[in-house]
Structure 1
Amino acid sequence: MRSRTPSDLNGFCKTCLFKEEWCLCEQLPTIHTTLHFVIVRHTREVLKTSNTGRIAALALDNCSLIDFGVKDKPYDPTPLLHDDTWLLFPDNEGLSAPLPETPPKRVVLLDATWRQAKRMKRRIKEVHHMPRFGIPTPNIYPERLRQAPNNWSLSTIEAIARTAEFFGEHEAAKQIDGVFALMVDHFTRQRGWPTHKLHNTEELPLRLHTDSRCSYTKCYCQTKP
């Protein structure tokens, strides 16, 4: 699925990268989490409308977004250099090192396809010695924009929601789920997709809420373009 926007952003919101008539910005809440999330985004994700890291960073008030590998844009690893910073990154079987006993101050997420993320993990020296953990695999896999490479991969925004939930920030997790559902709804509407074009609908979704414009559903899982 190609969702890269034109480089001149003609007709697109320059903040959320959705078409102007489907801009998300005014509908995004401000979501607070005690955890500070650091999103390291792969250069190939920068101009993709389907990139969830961008939308997460717009909604979260305790979040840093840094780009990696962008031509003519210096990479700044400063947000990765703080104490008590953990990398959310399962191994090839979805397993991980032991979970932290208490919530870490910062959680780093590599915002890319699974293959790209594995290369980023090797190339970004600041994450080489970080403690690493994974979160339990969700049991529900409803609507999302990209097809997951396996049953334990999560999109960046979903991984943030599940991490917040795991560490007890349940209300924030629900709000993040709602933001992702809003993103899915706007994306499919601006593409004119029927529901069957969405990925991973084997199980019935959980309804979050409904307004006069659209139904939002709880979504899980990560992805390849």
Structure 2
Amino acid sequence: MNTLPASSRPYCPHCLRPASACICHCVVEVDNRVDVLILQHPLEQHHAKGSGRLLHLCLRRSRLLVGDSFDLQELEAACGPMAGAWLLYPPTQPDAEGAATPAPVGALPQRLIVLDATWRKSRQLLRLNPWLLRLPRLELIEPPASRYGIRKAERDDQRSTLEATACALQQLDAGDTARYAPLWDVFDRFVELQRRARDHGMTARTAGAAFARHAAGDALAAPPARQAGAAKKA
């Protein structure tokens, strides 16, 4: 369930940012061919540097659910069967989490499940949701270097949720970089504005407003029809 922060300040119910820093009008629609289900850890829901919500608002075919434990039957009742779904997650060695089954080469999943969490919290999600361990895992093949310089990673091969998903969708879509180029453009601008906020000691509210002005100036505004569509997403 997506909830607004407990605050007297008005918040946008769609991007979950302060109303003065709403970025909904900056969202671009990306017509992804594979459905994406984002399982977001609660600590990421209102993280200023998190990219999961931005990803969700941009993808035409996506669903975002917040929690740390997801009952499989309830999840399938809400989102449809998980049969044929793949998990976007690095392969693991046989350990407490179990050995991962690689996704079959040359096939496509019915749905791609993405964990929006830190590396440590993503392992927690796996432990709390053992059904995820039974899913084939999609491994990124030679992904580009991360552009996510505003948030410290625990491993060199880690990417932000948006970066990893964009790479995965391109990989599944036979390397169709043009389809996902707008997603990268929005992400680059988001990172740049967050970096400026950090360097100049700006508040998150000021940074968000600056991002909105910057994105609007670069003609990244979504068409009016997308605004209505984004509002209906979970």
Range that drifts further, 54-63 or 10-19: 10-19
More helix per residue? 2
Partner of 1:91: 91
Whole-angstrom CA distance in 2 between matches of 1:155 and 1:162: 11
The alpha-carbon deviation at position 211 of structure 1 amounts to 7.5
The alpha-carbon deviation at position 184 of structure 1 amounts to 2.0
Partner of 1:63: 62
Q: Max radius of gyration: which structure?
A: 2
* CA deviations over 1:122-144 (Å, ceiling 9, x no partner): 21133121111210243433343
Are the aligned partners of 1:90 and 1:96 in contact in 2 as well (CA < 8 Å)? no
State the secondary structure of the residue aligned to 2:156.
Answer: coil
| Gaps in structure 1 of 5+ consecutive residues | 196-209, 217-225
The alpha-carbon deviation at position 74 of structure 1 amounts to 8.8
TM-score, normalisation: structure 1: 0.72
Aligned pairs for 1:40-79 within 5 A:
40-69=39-68, 76-78=74-76, 79=79
| Gaps in structure 2 of 5+ consecutive residues | 94-99, 201-213, 221-234
Partner of 2:190: 183
Whole-angstrom CA distance in 1 between matches of 2:216 and 2:115: 36
Partner of 1:28: 27
State the secondary structure of the residue aligned to 1:138.
Answer: coil
Between the aligned residues of both structures, percent identity stands at 21
Range that drifts further, 21-30 or 180-189: 180-189
Whole-angstrom CA distance in 2 between matches of 1:156 and 1:129: 21
Whole-angstrom CA distance in 2 between matches of 1:193 and 1:55: 19
The alpha-carbon deviation at position 9 of structure 1 amounts to 6.4
Cα distance change of structure 1 residues 43 and 13 upon mapping to structure 2, 3 Å threshold: same
Whole-angstrom CA distance in 1 between matches of 2:35 and 2:8: 30
Partner of 1:150: 155
Higher relative contact order (Cα pairs below 8 Å, separated by 6+ residues): 2
State the secondary structure of the residue aligned to 1:148.
Answer: coil
Pair 1:136-2:141 in alignment: yes
Pair 1:102-2:107 in alignment: yes
Whole-angstrom CA distance in 2 between matches of 1:29 and 1:211: 10
The alpha-carbon deviation at position 11 of structure 1 amounts to 4.7
Whole-angstrom CA distance in 1 between matches of 2:11 and 2:68: 24
Whole-angstrom CA distance in 2 between matches of 1:44 and 1:112: 8
State the secondary structure of the residue aligned to 1:193.
Answer: helix
Pair 1:160-2:165 in alignment: yes
Cα distance change of structure 1 residues 96 and 74 upon mapping to structure 2, 3 Å threshold: closer
Aligned alpha-carbon RMSD (Å): 3.3
Whole-angstrom CA distance in 1 between matches of 2:60 and 2:164: 17
